[in-house]
Structure 1
């Protein structure tokens, strides 16, 4: 299966469990890998035959920026659910959420993979 990647999608949102984190937007960096068959797009050379990664990136940036989270686990699940819900051609998604300032001088990240289930097809 083909893999389409979006890497380094930066977005600021309210995230964290500490009181100061609930008041100040913090940066997150999102990396996505989509399992999708790109053969139709390769033959037609038309964006309509593939996942429009520009639209996907804009939608995810807006979704995360307008939401509030306590945990990066919730951010990752929110992204995975949105991606799988938007385009039936996506068979699975891997999401990596990085919180650069979670701990001083340290970057924390979480990576999840969610396949499309039979009930979602």
Structure 2
């Protein structure tokens, strides 16, 4: 039975990192909120019920956490692009979207966000 694309969503992953180019942003970690969406064909994992045939979101999330928490970024664009690269490493990924919010980046806004998308 062929299935449509499976969609994994990681919602509101809250991390802290150095992000920004102002001196205070370079000296103090800030909160970021990461949302990830990954599409991949799940036909094989559906049929076999074998972990080896599935996309392991825990592995991806651990790589994202490590990269974000250990990194230093001047631009939100660089951070989002790096996370997107991690999400699309697995060869079966057909589409990946990453949105990262930087809460309190603007005085009268809840957050500023940037999104990037990859499609195979």
- Give your verdict on TM over 0.5: yes
Identify the match of residue 90 of structure 1 among 90, 93, 109: 93
SS state of the match for residue 90, structure 1?
coil
| Unpaired runs of at least 5, structure 2 | none
TM superposition score normalised by structure 1: 0.88
Provide the rounded CA distance (Å) in 2 between the counterparts of 1:47 and 1:99: 34
SS state of the match for residue 117, structure 2?
strand
SS state of the match for residue 103, structure 1?
coil
| Unpaired runs of at least 5, structure 1 | 117-121
Provide the rounded CA distance (Å) in 2 between the counterparts of 1:9 and 1:52: 16
- Counterpart for residue 103 of structure 1: 106
Which of structure 1's runs of 4+ aligned residues deviate more than 6 A? none
Q: Give RMSD over aligned pairs.
A: 1.2
- What is the number of equivalent residue pairs in this alignment? 115
Question: Per-residue displacement from partner, 1:33-81 (whole Å, max 9, x unpaired)?
Answer: 1110112111222221111111111110001111100111111111111
